């Protein structure tokens, strides 16, 4: 493939936060843009855990990429996967066998799960990076509850009702809190043998505290809030082994049918494509203006890039960084900006559960109900599309008032669940 017009051709790889921000800023300008992604939708990743815990449906937090750019005639969307980059020829190779030539290249390929050299663990402890991941986790959690309803073996039942989340960063904390609310409050009224005290939710962290990127004060508040929800927090307990139905954390062996990974990420193979230097997570080292060293027409942004935020410290792999970088690079290409990228941080946010959240804005630290309101408004505001904002707001309001979670659907073939008519009535346990 080649660009037929005489205008500069900008190829953007990845329609995450960074790639989407760059494409939006270039839409309607005097350039031709090709946006490549292996999925046809953009997903609001900070709320994926709510899909995984049946609070929201996938369409509530995602939007079709073509729909987002339907009014931008200079933006072309391609559903394909990049397999390599030939920087000498200014070419991008696609899995379909085609090649795209570019004048400017923006790599916003995001990140995938990192199991720290133990990729075999991914079978037993899925991570959360996509809609598919969220649906797989939702299915796993809901099936565990369904099977526990009719399980007569005490050990098997306990294993089914034990949920382990590995990693106590924002994703792990939010996931653990959401599962605790789902298993201990939202569904206990709908089952006849599961009470709020039947389930166990265990949050495992190799470090010394939860939310290590937050202040010590807010970390302790989050820790207490998790325990109030019934979450067991295990600190300084690195994972040494994972298997079918168990996790070795620290010196303890935990039997659990549901284990979720939220402990680490690995960048895409962009550094390999470019033969560029990268950090331990595979993120490409970039210059102050986000260009790849030695390649003046190639940029790396978001989770693909290891960019300095001042003081030599790498910027965090969060959505606000990626969005600001995407807009900055677009302005550079359009000739409207020059100089180095400067990130404007607005703090860190994390929710622990119903009416519980923490916000770290440097000197300003907020927790509790007000922080939860700020977190909710911020996340609704940054959703793609007016419909999504309305639907999510109404879903959250309904869930807040009733504790109901209406997205509790188990899809696909269900194997190994005995018919209800054959189930032996059980006494309510764990009261």
Question: What is the residue extent of each domain of the chain?
Answer: 9-48+58-113+265-333, 119-263
The top-level CATH class assigned to 119-263 is alpha beta
Confidence (pLDDT) at 2: 52
Name the one residue in this structure whose structure tokens are 């033969």.
275
Q: Which two tokens stand for residue 108?
A: 């916003």
Domains 9-48+58-113+265-333 and 119-263 share a fold: yes
Q: Phi/psi class of residue 222: alpha, beta or left (left: φ > 0; alpha: ψ in -120 to 50)?
A: alpha
* 174 given a catalytic annotation: yes
Task: Tell me how far apart the alpha carbons of residues 220 and 342 are, in angstroms, rounded to a whole number.
Answer: 31
Distance from chain centroid for Cα 79: 21
Start-to-end CA span in the chain (Å): 66
> CA separation (Å) from 241 to 238, 252, 269, 413?
9, 11, 26, 29
CA-based nearest residue to 52, from 211, 220, 229, 177: 177
Domain 9-48+58-113+265-333, CATH? 3.50.50.60
Say whether pTM exceeds 0.85. yes
- Assign 328 to helix, strand or coil: helix
312-325 CB burial, b ≥16 within 10 A, e <16: eeebebbbbbbbbb
CA-based nearest residue to 109, from 289, 241, 265: 265
Query: How does pLDDT run along the chain (431 residues), one tens digit per residue?
Result: 556 568 999 999 999 999 999 999 999 999 999 999 999 999 999 999 999 999 999 999 999 999 999 999 999 999 999 999 999 999 999 999 999 999 999 999 998 888 988 999 999 999 999 999 999 999 999 999 999 999 999 999 999 999 999 999 999 999 999 999 988 776 767 888 888 788 999 999 999 999 998 999 999 999 999 999 999 999 999 999 999 999 999 889 999 999 999 998 888 899 999 999 999 889 999 999 999 999 999 999 999 999 987 656 788 888 999 999 999 999 999 998 888 999 988 888 999 988 999 999 888 999 999 999 999 999 998 888 888 899 999 988 888 877 778 778 887 777 665 444 344 444 434 43
Q: Which two tokens stand for residue 373?
A: 């309101």
Confidence (pLDDT) at 384: 82
Radius of gyration of the chain (CA): 23
**Residues in contact with 320: Cβ distance below 8 Å, sequence separation at least 6, in sequence order:** 343, 345, 346
Task: Tell me how far apart the alpha carbons of residues 192 and 417 are, in angstroms, rounded to a whole number.
Answer: 17
Considering 146, 151, 158, 174, which one is annotated as catalytic? 174
Per-residue DSSP letter, 167: -
Task: Tell me how far apart the alpha carbons of residues 86 and 94 are, in angstroms, rounded to a whole number.
Answer: 11
Q: Which two tokens stand for residue 188?
A: 């206990």
> CA separation (Å) from 89 to 8, 92, 225, 244?
15, 9, 55, 47
Confidence (pLDDT) at 108: 96
Q: What is the dihedral of CA 407, 413, 417, 419, to 10 degrees?
A: 90
Q: Which two tokens stand for residue 335?
A: 């000739």
């Amino acid at each position: 493939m080649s660009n037929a017009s005489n205008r500069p051709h900008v190829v953007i790889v990845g329609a995450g936060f960074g790639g989407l921000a760059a494409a939006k800023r270039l839409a309607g300008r005097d350039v031709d843009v090709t946006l490549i992604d292996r999925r046809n939708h953009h997903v609001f990743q900070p709320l994926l855990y709510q899909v995984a815990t049946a609070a929201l449906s996938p369409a509530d937090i995602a939007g079709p990429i073509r729909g987002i750019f339907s009014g931008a005639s200079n933006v072309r969307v391609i559903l394909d996967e990049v397999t390599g980059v030939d920087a000498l020829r200014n070419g991008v190779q696609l899995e379909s066998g085609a090649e795209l030539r570019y004048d400017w290249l923006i790599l916003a390929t995001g990140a995938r799960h990192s199991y720290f050299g133990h990729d075999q663990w991914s079978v037993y402890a899925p991570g959360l990076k996509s809609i598919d991941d969220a649906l797989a986790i939702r299915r796993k959690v809901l099936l565990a509850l369904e099977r526990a309803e009719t399980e007569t073996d005490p050990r098997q039942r306990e294993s089914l009702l034990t949920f382990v989340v590995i990693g106590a960063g924002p994703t792990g904390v939010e996931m653990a809190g959401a599962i605790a609310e789902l298993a201990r409050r939202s569904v206990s009224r709908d089952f006849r043998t599961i009470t709020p005290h039947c389930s166990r939710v265990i949050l495992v962290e190799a470090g010394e505290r939860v939310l290590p990127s937050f202040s010590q004060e807010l970390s302790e508040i989050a820790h207490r809030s998790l325990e109030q929800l019934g979450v067991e927090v295990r600190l300084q307990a690195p994972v040494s082994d994972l298997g079918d139905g168990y996790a070795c954390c620290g010196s303890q062996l935990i039997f659990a049918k549901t284990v979720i990974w939220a402990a680490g990420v690995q960048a895409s193979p962009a550094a390999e494509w470019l033969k560029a230097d990268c950090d331990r997570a595979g993120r490409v080292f970039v210059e102050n203006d986000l260009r790849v060293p030695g390649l003046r027409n190639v940029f790396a942004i978001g989770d693909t890039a290891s960019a300095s935020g001042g003081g030599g410290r790498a910027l965090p792999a969060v959505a606000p960084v990626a969005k600001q970088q995407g807009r900055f690079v677009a302005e550079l290409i359009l000739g409207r900006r020059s100089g180095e990228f400067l990130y404007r941080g607005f703090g860190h946010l994390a929710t622990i559960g119903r009416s519980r959240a923490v916000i770290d804005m440097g000197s300003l630290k907020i927790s509790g109900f007000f922080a939860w309101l700020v977190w909710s408004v911020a996340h609704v505001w940054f959703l793609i599309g007016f419909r999504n904002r309305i639907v999510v707001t109404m879903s959250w309001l309904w869930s807040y008032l009733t504790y109901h979670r209406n997205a509790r659907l188990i899809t696909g073939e269900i194997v190994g669940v005995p018919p209800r008519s054959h189930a032996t009535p059980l006494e309510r346990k764990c009261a």
